Amino acid sequence: MNDLIDVPRGLNGVVAAETTISDVNGEAGWYQYRGWSAVELARTRSFEDVWHLLVVGGLPDAARSAAFAERIAAAQSDPRMPELIAAVGARTDQPLVALRAVWTLAASMRGSSALYDLDEAQRLEEAIRFAAVTPIALAGAAATGGGVVADYLEAVTGRTPDAAHVHALSAYLIAAMDHGFNASTFTARVIASTGADMASCLTGALGALSGPLHGGAPARALDSLDRAGDDPEAWIAGQLAAGRRLMGFGHAVYRTADPRSELLREVARGLGGSRVTQALAFQADAERQLAERRPERPLHANVEFYAAVVMEQCGVPREMFTPTFALARTIGWTAHVLEQARDAKIIRPSARYVGPAFAGEGVEV
């Protein structure tokens, strides 16, 4: 008999490791990056500055911010990368598939070593180099000196973005950079605990993110708005009566409103438009009906719901919603990989066996 301690399904609430990167308080409804409110960072700081905070370990002053931007630009200027990305892009129209391939081929091209064999400075260099190539691999974003977000937005929309859209998308990307031990982040840490190379950690995390229950939700949330049309009350009622899940509502951790959703609703209101008006009405009706059905645990709009609205308002095509999420979360993954690589203990949990009883040695089967 296996007398292991009982654990909840999905390891919900189980502490698997210690981290200094981010903290999520689902009961109180807040989350932070290294002691700073993630929501305030999304409102007030640049994508690159928060990248520096998570990966290097502190918010930079003006001089360090400029130096870090130069370091990113240098990582993006590898003369071999355009040919590699063009070759991969010519064979697939799926950005996440292309990103996995670029990371893997870049590791081979650069001769990337196992994290176990690198010192701290070398690991940091790997983290920055692989994250820096991400917007280029996903969308062919050229480094123009305008910043990662502006370059990426120009690449995915085909036009020079205005400042409001750059600020809005930056707020989303910062808000989505990290969020505790979510499925993809934990995957990255498990792989990092083996001492594997950076590309292996990132491609594993990306595989987890691609699932519809993780990174695939924003586009599905927008699909719900399309189907609901001008009568969200009836459509929502039909979905709930059929036992279907409302994509973009509820969260595994938060028992209050998702602070990321609150932030992005504010950003969406600032952008305005009929889609935003529709989303606000849909949210109000969905939360009302969900509360009536489950008064013991009201379900609120989560980050995916307004992320979809904000990205659409910024001109990001629907098929690029999950890749855009991946661009943000890559920063968090690299930070967690670096942290996990400092611990030489491999992550190796146990399982409770619930199959047929052991028949004994030498029994014919």
**What's the per-residue H, E or C state across 82-132?**
HHHHHHHHCCCCCHHHHHHHHHHHHHHHHCCCCHHHCCHHHHHHHHHHHHH
d(CA 319, CA 322): 7
| Active-site residue (options: 52, 165, 167, 251) | 251
Paired residues of 23 in beta bridges: 32
| Residue labelled with tokens 């792989």 | 191
| Active-site residue (options: 126, 304, 312, 339) | 304
| Residue labelled with tokens 């070759």 | 87
d(CA 353, CA 123): 38
pLDDT of residue 92: 76
Domains of the chain: 35-211+320-341 (1.10.580.10), 217-313 (1.10.230.10)
d(CA 39, CA 262): 9
pTM: 0.91
Q: Is 304 a catalytic residue?
A: yes
pLDDT of residue 1: 42
Q: Which helix (H) or strand (E) holds 33?
A: strand 30-33
Residue pLDDT tens, the chain, 365 long: 455 667 777 777 777 789 999 998 877 878 999 999 999 999 999 999 999 999 999 999 999 999 999 999 999 988 888 888 888 876 778 999 999 999 999 999 989 999 999 999 999 999 999 999 999 999 988 888 889 999 999 999 999 999 999 999 999 999 999 998 999 999 999 999 999 999 999 999 999 998 877 776 677 888 899 999 889 999 999 999 999 988 888 776 767 788 999 999 999 999 999 999 999 999 999 999 999 988 887 788 888 889 999 999 999 999 999 999 999 999 999 999 999 999 989 999 888 888 999 888 765 65
pLDDT of residue 258: 85
pLDDT of residue 114: 97
Helix (H, G, I), strand (E, B) or coil at 31: strand
Q: Which helix (H) or strand (E) holds 266?
A: helix 259-271
Paired residues of 25 in beta bridges: 30
